[in-house]
Amino acid sequence: MLISRVPWGRFTSALFIVGSLLAVTAGTALAQAEGAGLSVEAAKAQAEGMTQIAAGLAIGLGAIGPGIGIGIAVSKAMEALGRNPEAQGAIQTNMIVGVAFAEAVAIYALVVAILIKFV
């Protein structure tokens, strides 16, 4: 299985580093406006562009995990139903609860993206 071969520790560390760098760059763009010869308007436009990119990355990367998790959960639930159809009620209930928790993570990513965009 491809997903089990991915080194998730390194992947999440890299995502954290990239996110931190994106969060810092908007402030430094405004701070460097006078020293680099940029006008304040150009620096604000550059910071706005970085904010747009950060918001897009926040929801894009924040939806990858729940998408993969929901796919795996539904796949395993279907396998379990194929092996034991009598346990359909318990399997379906547990799967729906797991999918709801995974969707909550995606909703948190959406909230963060909206906060980045409008605040």
pLDDT given for residue 110 in this prediction? 92
Helices 88-118, 40-83: axis angle to 10 degrees equals 180
pTM greater than 0.75: no
Q: Helix, strand, coil proportions of the chain in percent (round to 5)? A: 90, 0, 10
What are the tens digits of pLDDT across the range 3-20? Answer: 556 565 666 677 677 777
Distances (CA, A) of 90 to 6, 23, 71, 78, 96: 31, 43, 19, 13, 10
The residues spanned by each domain of the chain are 9-118
**pLDDT per residue over 50-107, tens digit each?**
888 888 888 988 889 889 989 999 999 999 999 999 999 999 999 999 999 989 999 9
* Mean pLDDT of the residues in the chain: 81
Q: How confident is the model at residue 1 (pLDDT cuts 50, 70, 90)?
A: very low
**CATH topology for the 9-118 domain:** F1FO ATP Synthase (1.20.20)
